[in-house]
């Protein structure tokens, strides 16, 4: 009898959680999936969403890791921009001079890939 009561309590709890999720989605006039994706994006567990990145648009980011391919033909690595980690590509010569933490300019490409254009100059100090 005790196990039946526990099972009913768990089912009641899950039903309440489901109703709260549905009510939140209806209140925000969005499908439940959009509400969950918005939450996941806010905490950094979801990638870019439709309309957030345009192929060919430029941006700035910070090098997370960078390597030169074994054949020396190109550079590849990871770039952090707006809290998102992207696959990065660049010329081998540029990759050789970049280090983790360098700020760079890039262009968005297809998928979650960016093309690094150049290293950004450090800000000038005045005074």
Whether residues 67 and 37 fall in one domain: no
* Mean of pLDDT over the chain: 83
Give the residue among 97, 88, 92, 91 at the shortest CA–CA distance from 65: 88
Do the strands 113-119 and 84-91 form a parallel or antiparallel pair, or are they unpaired?
Answer: parallel
Confirm if 100 and 85 have CB atoms less than 8 A apart.
no
Domain identity same for 114 and 62: yes
Domain hosting 19: range is 2-42
Q: What is the pTM of this model?
A: 0.55
Q: Mind listing the pLDDT tens digit for each residue in 46-80?
A: 655 555 567 788 888 999 999 998 888 899 999 98
Q: Are residues 66 and 108 in the same domain?
A: yes
Ranges of beta strands (E only) in the chain are 58-68, 74-81, 84-91, 103-108, 113-119
Mark whether 37 and 63 lie in a shared domain.
no
- If asked whether residues 76 and 115 sit together in one domain, one would say yes
The pLDDT value given to residue 115: 93
Q: Does 28 or 10 have the greater pLDDT score? A: 10
Judge whether 67 lies within some domain.
Answer: yes
Query: Which residue, 125, 124, 126, 89, is CA-closest to 104?
Result: 89
Note the pLDDT of residue 3: 87
Backbone angles phi, psi at 78, to 5 degrees: -125, 145
């Amino acid at each position: 009898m005790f196990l039946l009561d526990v099972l009913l309590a768990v089912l009641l709890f899950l039903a309440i959680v489901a109703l709260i999720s549905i009510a939140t989605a209806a209140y925000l006039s969005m499908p439940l999936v959009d509400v969950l994706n918005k939450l996941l994006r806010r905490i950094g567990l979801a990638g870019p969403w439709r309309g957030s990145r345009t192929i060919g648009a430029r941006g700035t980011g910070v090098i997370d890791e960078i390597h030169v391919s074994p054949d020396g033909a190109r550079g590849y690595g990871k770039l952090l921009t707006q809290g998102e980690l992207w696959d990065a590509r660049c010329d081998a010569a540029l990759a050789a001079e970049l280090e983790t933490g360098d700020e760079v300019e890039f262009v968005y490409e297809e998928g979650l890939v960016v093309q690094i254009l150049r290293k950004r100059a450090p800000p000038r100090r005045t005074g």
